[in-house]
Chains A and B, each alone.
Chain A
Amino acid sequence: MLVSVLLWAALEMQRSPYATYQDVAQAQPVPFSHQHHVAGDGIDCRYCHTSVETSGFAGIPPTKTCMNCHSQIWTNAPLLEPVRESYRTGKSLMWTRVDYLPDFVYFDHSIHINKGVGCASCHGPVDKMPLTYAANSLQMEWCLNCHRAPEYFLRPRDQVFNMKYEQPSSDNPVKLADGSVFTDQIALGNELKHRYNVRSVEGITSCNTCHR
């Protein structure tokens, strides 16, 4: 009895935000607001995360990228002092990672984007995050949800960076470049799986897909 209770508690704890930091906003040197920059200013993800389409690593913007704008606007907002200081001294800003993967997991951004996995699918509604937090647990079982049934999540490539994108439904049909219209995610997903020739489920649930 006691044993099973403890076991259950352990399993719960293991999945709890305490362990995964899911939905926990981290303190950052600069309280950077994705909400403001993405929703407000309408800046595209790729402006800062430059290598997301070409490399496994999405890329953290160098201080220079911040200064591109902030040398013009908010030039002396005290909030941005750390940024300016970093630029002056050449000392890097030390951000705290919010979307954390263990070191033995090899995640490649470019291929996911190429296969029509939206940023939001993993990172959540970044455009609604005043302070950034991990929207998902990023635990293996969570990854497997999609790797076992991609059709539930795929979206057209041109919608990958669209934060407003919603899955097709009768009142929200999704139109592909070639004009075909979908009102049902499964149908769309299967079509995209075919078009983007996504590997077989056995293939993308093979261990070496993520672990080396």
Chain B
Amino acid sequence: MEKESPNKPEAVCPGKLELAEVKQKLARAKSGPQYWRSLEELAQTDGFYEMLHREFPRQASVWPEGSPRRDFLKLMSASMALAGLAGCVKLPLEPIVPYVRQPDEIVLGRPLFFASAMPFGAYATPVLVESHEGRPTKIEGNPDHPAGLGGSDVFAQASILDMYDPDRSQTITYRGAMSTWSAFTEALKGPLNSEKAVSGSGLRILSRPFSSPTMASLMEAVQAAYPESKWVKYEPVNRDNVRAGSQLAFGEFVETRYNLGKADIILSLDGDFLSSGFPGFLYYARTFAARRNPDLKEKMSRFYSVESTPTNTGGKADHRLPVRASEVAQVASAIAARLGVGSGATAKPEHQKFVTALVKDLQAHKGAAVVIPGDNQPPAVHALAHAMNAALGAVGNTVIYTDTVEVKPQIQTDALKELFGDMNAGKVDLLVILGSNPVYDAPADFEFAKAMDKVPLRVQYGLYQDETYDHVHWHINGTHYLEEWGDGHAFDGTVTITQPLVAPLYNAKSAYEFIFSLVGSSEMAGYDIVRKYWQGQMKGGDFDAAWRKAVHDGFVANTAFPSKNVSAKGPTLSPTTGDKGGAPDTEVMFRRDPLIYDGSRANNAWLQETPKPVINLCWDNAVLISPATAKKRGLVTGDVVEIDINGRKVKGPIWPQPAHPNDSITVFLGYGRTKGGRVADGVGFDAYEIRTSDAPWIANAKITKVGSGYGFADPQGFQYIDYSDLPKGTEPLKNRHIIRKATLADFIQNPNFAHEEEESVPPEMTLYYPYQYTELKWGMTIDMNSCIGCKTCIVACQAENNIPVVGKEQTMRGRQMQWLRVDTYYEGGTENPAVYYQPVPCQQCENAPCEVVCPVGATVHSTEGLNDMVYNRCVGTRYCSNNCPYKVRRFNFLLWQDWTTPQYKMMRNPEVSIRSRGVMEKCTYCIQRITHGRITAEKENRSVRDGEVITACQQACPAGAIVFGNLNDKDSRVSKIKAQQRNYSLLEDLNTRPRTTYMAVVQNPNPELEQSESS
């Protein structure tokens, strides 16, 4: 098929052209099923596996420690001289394992791209998946998707690792013993029939919430077959408050959608809308960033945040008010009252100033202001927010109400409570658990496991043999979303299709197939189930064409839910405080973990090792506490405290966190897994043990110190750009001009602020004539104003460049390997500091200090100005890293690459060398993508187009903060941006002349509040 489009560029990254090609590929494929069967068939041949393991030379290492050669070298390295010579001489023979029948669409050595969607929570995240010879290797954002806008989040980026996770459940078991699908269906026939007899009164299905229309239809089918049965949807990090809130306000469940593109003033009431996992995050990040561009002058938006637990969202605020989660309600009602909503309480004196100024600002921007409540805030706050938005004329402008994206939403905790009751009452004969893990994450006051054990027959369908597995009879291993056909709605309702990239690795059934088998007389392939459903939906016109387009694009255009007319019914009750329980002493705020979410991602080493946004802690959850409170209670970092909520106790280590509200602590959910897998188990402590159904987010607790000396892995060395805990009188770090910032007002009168204090180095200061870069000249800019510190770029880089994980102990020793890091700096005390995010990849200096000191020339400059790192030449003196002022180089102190696990061999990006022990490595500007773009262009006798080469971090960035391109092309985006005055380079006075530069921060504070800034 390549012959048909010989000159088409390769889909190295989803620019328009590549998509066009993918379109053609799909169009050419006769019809879906056959197209896919070809891959499945291929997947079943041993040849496929053999090939995956051996065919591709790019599955390679920094020789001489290549996979087949390593053992041989291990021997050698014992006696150096020998290893030296022999090591560099003798190449072992390698086999080549070709296909028997090669599928048409596969061109060896060239990746394909397929649109798909990742179901997350009750929403579908649009993605584009890169596939090498039938192995999905990288997740990217789908640029065409209206709800994704091309960005992606940490969970999507990391999901590729989930799929290849060797700990995934690989077989069906009955009472722990291996079994088969047919055995299962046989065994279930009886119970199902007897349920039929009692119209399913004893059947309960517990699943996570979903938005899949097909699944909804199956749900109805179940209802039809078993009218009395109940289908309970529960996830520990649920949106009950949101639901209840909209019920309070409108008497029905509605979905709230914000249009930050239109918002001049944004008020967040603990709303963490800029962190991965928040519904619509991708869309909000992009639109928010767009309005933060200071070149918009006064059209730049202003962001107020009333926040409890510090988040990267709060870090972007122009004004941040740190209050305990329970106080948010009070502040909210105070604001509401001023806006003429409800007879609200008055704000505390210390909040007065903030509230007054804020209200003024809001009123001045009626119709262009928006209030965003957080999922962890009580329903009343949501109701208030709805009312305020109404009062501000936001509805229809910055706020849109639609039908809920989630299918049949319910107050999940209540539903679970009911199930719990039924189980205890012995009303449940057959419990089917679909992908959830209640034994681990159900509220502590439902002793779920106990209740569950009362059910005669318990079936679990899931990806892991997790905590719940111990309490079920049947376990059916499930499929990862990259292995299954499915569908869903994006947060805005856009219909989004999930298509498999590879046949199930452990030939599992998809959830659709599984549920279908409960109702359907016969079985049906997931593909047919989904397709059949849509055949019913897409009436009229050529279905096949429409379907192919949908599958290819990954979504159906213009299917976003229309806005819905709802009216808040009158001034709502003025709330007092958030939900609470237990003896008052310290307020506990339960939060989903920013990276491992509710624990379902706990076995993902990439997420575990990525430093949490703002907090910069990895491989742990901690008891976050404000430094002031810690001091007051005589607690220091690493002290272990016992949190006691009505007798439920858990121990956790103290982590004083700047900007954290006083007299309260935050604990992240999702840790302390016991059967989560080799990565998850034993990491952190399990906060679910003290989380009860009556106080799922905010509770009162007593904390008492019970230990100390707990070690944390916090990769960032020092976070204060001003004094704090450096000896007084030492040289101020400010003088290094690492973060350059101004207020909008200052920026407008002095656009050149970024270059004022620095003593910039004139190019003629060097003795030598500067090297001339005549061919391509690569460069990158990172807009610190757009960057929201979500860390997606880090995971994207890790996935793209085969970067190993090192684990907690090694991270504590300062040996983390991520090429890209997001430095987070605090300024202005620990009470309520300003926060700055600064992603730091290799700066690709033109006068690279690292190159001069390398004794073997393993790092040298290319004619395109890239600071090449030649792994195979590196002998590992680490001098380059010592001499790198940005410390962006990473060294393989030990053997961290997993050479043995076959799953990982399949996962790795074949375009990137796999580094082994003893070599230095670092960001290459994704040289593999550059080379691809260059070769493609050269084959077409043209120069590389702007935007043709997109680095992994740039592609992933949901805020579009990173721009990469050719500096010799004056019209390229990157050259234009570098021409702006906000553009500056890090440590400019060292005259390293970096190719990576930064756009200075411009904040838009309310003049009335400016003085009170920086506590």
Residues of A within 8 A of B (CB): 10, 13-14, 18-21, 26, 50-51, 53-57, 59-64, 86-87, 90-97, 100-104, 106, 108, 110-111, 114-115, 197, 199-200, 202-203, 206-209, 211-212
Q: CB within 8 A of A103: which of B55, B57, B109, B930?
A: B57
Contact indicator A55/B100 (Cβ below 8 Å): no
Q: From A60, which residue of chain B is reached at the shortest CB distance? A: B98
With A62-B99, A103-B63 known to touch, is A212 a contact of B927 (CB < 8 Å)? yes
Chain A residues, Cβ within 8 Å of B91: 19-21, 100, 102
Chain A residues, Cβ within 8 Å of B939: 110-111, 114
Chain A residues, Cβ within 8 Å of B868: 206-208, 211
Number of A-B contacts (CB under 8 A): 179
Chain B residues, Cβ within 8 Å of A206: 860-864, 868
Q: CB within 8 A of B93: which of A21, A61, A62, A86?
A: A21
Chain A residues, Cβ within 8 Å of B109: 51, 55-57, 59
Any A CB within 8 A of the CB of B61: yes
Chain B residues, Cβ within 8 Å of A101: 57
Chain B residues, Cβ within 8 Å of A64: 99-102
Q: From B59, which residue of chain A is reached at the shortest CB distance? A: A103
B889 CB to nearest A CB, Å: 16
Give CA–CA (A101, B863) in the complex, Å: 24
Q: A104-B871, A211-B870 are in contact. List 11 more A-B contacts (CB 8 A).
A: A26-B93, A54-B2, A57-B110, A63-B100, A92-B99, A92-B100, A97-B94, A106-B928, A106-B931, A206-B864, A208-B868
Any A CB within 8 A of the CB of B107: yes
Q: From B872, which residue of chain A is reached at the shortest CB distance? A: A104
Q: CB within 8 A of A19: which of B90, B861, B870?
A: B90
Any A CB within 8 A of the CB of B911: yes
Chain A residues, Cβ within 8 Å of B927: 208, 212
A3 CB to nearest B CB, Å: 12
Any A CB within 8 A of the CB of B47: yes
Contact indicator A211/B46 (Cβ below 8 Å): no
Interface digits, B127-146 against A, CB 8 Å rule (1 contact, 0 not)? 00000000000000000000
Interchain residue pairs with CB less than 8 A apart (25): A19-B91, A20-B91, A54-B110, A56-B935, A59-B107, A63-B99, A90-B45, A91-B45, A92-B99, A96-B96, A97-B93, A101-B57, A103-B913, A114-B938, A199-B863, A203-B863, A206-B861, A206-B862, A207-B860, A207-B868, A207-B870, A207-B873, A208-B866, A211-B873, A212-B924
Any A CB within 8 A of the CB of B6: yes
Chain B residues, Cβ within 8 Å of A51: 2, 107-110
Give CA–CA (A94, B47) in the complex, Å: 10
Identify which of A92, A96, A110 gathers the most chain B CB atoms within 10 Å of its CB: A92
Give CA–CA (A27, B984) in the complex, Å: 60
Identify which of A20, A53, A202, A203 gathers the most chain B CB atoms within 10 Å of its CB: A203
Chain B residues, Cβ within 8 Å of A10: 85, 89
Any A CB within 8 A of the CB of B97: yes
With A57-B109, A87-B100, A103-B63 known to touch, is A202 a contact of B57 (CB < 8 Å)? no
Chain A residues, Cβ within 8 Å of B99: 62-64, 92
Q: CB within 8 A of A53: which of B6, B58, B85, B924?
A: B6
B22 CB to nearest A CB, Å: 16
Chain B residues, Cβ within 8 Å of A207: 860, 862, 868, 870, 873
Chain B residues, Cβ within 8 Å of A96: 93-96
Interface digits, B806-826 against A, CB 8 Å rule (1 contact, 0 not)? 000000000000000000000
Interface residue tally for chain B (C-beta within 8 Å)? 60
Contact indicator A92/B50 (Cβ below 8 Å): yes
Chain A residues, Cβ within 8 Å of B863: 199-200, 202-203, 206
Q: From B7, which residue of chain A is reached at the shortest CB distance? A: A54
Contact indicator B938/A111 (Cβ below 8 Å): yes
Give CA–CA (A10, B86) in the complex, Å: 9
With A199-B775, A208-B862 known to touch, is A55 a contact of B98 (CB < 8 Å)? no
Give CA–CA (A201, B873) in the complex, Å: 21
B586 CB to nearest A CB, Å: 52
B953 CB to nearest A CB, Å: 17
Give CA–CA (A20, B90) in the complex, Å: 7
Give CA–CA (A121, B438) in the complex, Å: 65
Any A CB within 8 A of the CB of B503: no
Any A CB within 8 A of the CB of B449: no
Interface digits, B48-91 against A, CB 8 Å rule (1 contact, 0 not)? 00110001011111110010000000000000000001001111
Any A CB within 8 A of the CB of B941: yes
A206 CB to nearest B CB, Å: 4
Give CA–CA (A111, B57) in the complex, Å: 18
B974 CB to nearest A CB, Å: 19
Contact indicator B98/A62 (Cβ below 8 Å): yes
Any A CB within 8 A of the CB of B912: yes
With A20-B91, A211-B871 known to touch, is A63 a contact of B98 (CB < 8 Å)? yes
Contact indicator B93/A60 (Cβ below 8 Å): no
Contact indicator B98/A95 (Cβ below 8 Å): yes
With A95-B95, A106-B58 known to touch, is A90 a contact of B100 (CB < 8 Å)? yes
B550 CB to nearest A CB, Å: 29
Give CA–CA (A115, B941) in the complex, Å: 10
Chain A residues, Cβ within 8 Å of B862: 203, 206-209
Interface digits, B311-333 against A, CB 8 Å rule (1 contact, 0 not)? 00000000000000000000000
User: 4 nearest interchain CB pairs?
Assistant: A103-B60, A57-B109, A92-B47, A206-B862
Chain A residues, Cβ within 8 Å of B88: 14
B189 CB to nearest A CB, Å: 35
Q: From A61, which residue of chain B is reached at the shortest CB distance? A: B98
Chain B residues, Cβ within 8 Å of A110: 935, 939
Give CA–CA (A51, B2) in the complex, Å: 8
Contact indicator B95/A111 (Cβ below 8 Å): no
Contact indicator B96/A97 (Cβ below 8 Å): yes
Give CA–CA (A111, B863) in the complex, Å: 18
Chain B residues, Cβ within 8 Å of A114: 938-939
Contact indicator B63/A102 (Cβ below 8 Å): yes
Q: From B930, which residue of chain A is reached at the shortest CB distance? A: A208
B855 CB to nearest A CB, Å: 16
Contact indicator A208/B931 (Cβ below 8 Å): yes
Contact indicator A54/B98 (Cβ below 8 Å): no
Chain B residues, Cβ within 8 Å of A208: 862, 864, 866, 868, 924, 927, 930-931
A14 CB to nearest B CB, Å: 5
Contact indicator A212/B47 (Cβ below 8 Å): no
B39 CB to nearest A CB, Å: 15
Give CA–CA (A126, B100) in the complex, Å: 24
With A55-B107, A56-B109, A92-B47 known to touch, is A212 a contact of B913 (CB < 8 Å)? yes
Contact indicator A111/B871 (Cβ below 8 Å): no
Q: From A54, which residue of chain B is reached at the shortest CB distance? A: B2
Chain B residues, Cβ within 8 Å of A97: 93-96
With A100-B91, A212-B912 known to touch, is A57 a contact of B108 (CB < 8 Å)? yes
Q: From A29, which residue of chain B is reached at the shortest CB distance? A: B95
Identify which of A26, A100, A104 gathers the most chain B CB atoms within 10 Å of its CB: A104
Chain A residues, Cβ within 8 Å of B62: 104
Contact indicator A212/B59 (Cβ below 8 Å): no
With A86-B100, A92-B99, A200-B775 known to touch, is A14 a contact of B89 (CB < 8 Å)? yes
A193 CB to nearest B CB, Å: 13
Chain A residues, Cβ within 8 Å of B85: 10, 13-14
B859 CB to nearest A CB, Å: 9
Give CA–CA (A64, B104) in the complex, Å: 12
Q: CB within 8 A of A95: which of B96, B774, B861, B931?
A: B96
Identify which of A60, A64, A95 gathers the most chain B CB atoms within 10 Å of its CB: A60
Give CA–CA (A100, B90) in the complex, Å: 12
Give CA–CA (A148, B61) in the complex, Å: 27
Q: From A9, which residue of chain B is reached at the shortest CB distance? A: B85
Give CA–CA (A96, B101) in the complex, Å: 19
Q: From A114, which residue of chain B is reached at the shortest CB distance? A: B939
Q: From A64, which residue of chain B is reached at the shortest CB distance? A: B101
Interface digits, B866-888 against A, CB 8 Å rule (1 contact, 0 not)? 10101111000000000000000
Identify which of A21, A55, A90 gathers the most chain B CB atoms within 10 Å of its CB: A90
